[in-house]
Amino acid sequence: CSDLFPLLAPASMVVDCTTNEPATVLKLAEKARSAQLRYVEAPLTGGKQQASEAMLGAIVGCDADDFILASELLKPCCAQIERLGGVGMGATTKLISNFLALGTATLVVEAMKAAHKLGVDWEKFYSLASKGSGHSMSLDRIAPKAIAGSHDGYVFTIGNTVKDMEYISALLDDHPDAGAIARLFLRIYKDAENVGMQDAFLSNRLKPD
């Protein structure tokens, strides 16, 4: 991203939609200022389907004066655009959001793996769980496809999960309970990466051994 800064006209706006660490976006913002550019971080929520339907969410960190223009630039692909504060708050909020999303998906996978090993019928389990407090979008993405014999319901790779969990673990290092959970999730996905699953989807961990 910063390699492009010298090629841009002064006062141009850079809208960075990468999921990144807060420290990194702060460095990029400083480089942008040095190049007389306006820098906005806007990591996105949602996946391929939301992108195709222009239903992504943008978690924006920027100067208040830059938010109106940044919103106009993001509107063609985003249904919800929220400014969380200055540069750095977008990355922080996105990582917490991913902690919740990836954590929920991980619990769905582990619950279904346990159910299978304990002889619990997946279809009946899903029907019951989807009517209780364990219901989630992750459950709806993962369970029906797994029941049908496919394990590609959660379209996010294990390699990307490792990257995000490394960022999340660092962010939550001073938060004992949340940090411990993040480190556990990171270990699970590093183990999967180490056996060659880095390009597989998170939900592929449901495949029989």
pLDDT at 197 over 80: yes
Per the listing, tokens 């619950």 go with: 111
SS3 88: coil
In terms of DSSP bridges, do strands 78-85 and 38-41 run parallel, antiparallel, or are they unpaired?
Answer: unpaired
Contact yes or no for 124/147 (Cβ under 8 A): no
Name which of 102, 95, 50 is nearest 77 in CA terms: 50
Q: pLDDT tens digits for 162-172?
A: 999 999 999 99
Residue 48 pLDDT: 81
Count CB neighbours of 70 within 10 A: 24
pLDDT above 90 (res 209): no
Question: What per-residue confidence (pLDDT) applies to 154?
Answer: 95
40-91, pLDDT tens digit by residue? Answer: 999 999 888 899 999 999 999 999 999 999 999 999 999 999 999 999 999 9
| Residue 208 pLDDT level (bands cut at 50, 70, 90) | confident
Measuring CA to CA, how many Å separate 28 from each of 2, 94, 134?
7, 17, 39
Rounded mean pLDDT of 189-195?
97
**Coil, strand or helix at 85:** strand
DSSP conformation letters of 14-49? EEE-----HHHHHHHHHHHHHTT-EEEE--EE--HH
d(CA 86, CA 36): 18
Output the average pLDDT for the chain.
96
The residue length of the chain stands at 209
Distance CA 105, CA 121 (A): 19
Which tens digit of pLDDT belongs to each residue from 90-125? 999 999 999 999 999 999 999 999 999 999 999 999
pLDDT at site 92: 98
Question: Residue written as tokens 């495949």?
Answer: 207
pLDDT of 42: 98
| pLDDT on residue 2 | 74
| Rounded (5°) CA angle 80-153-146 | 145
**Average pLDDT of 133-154?**
96
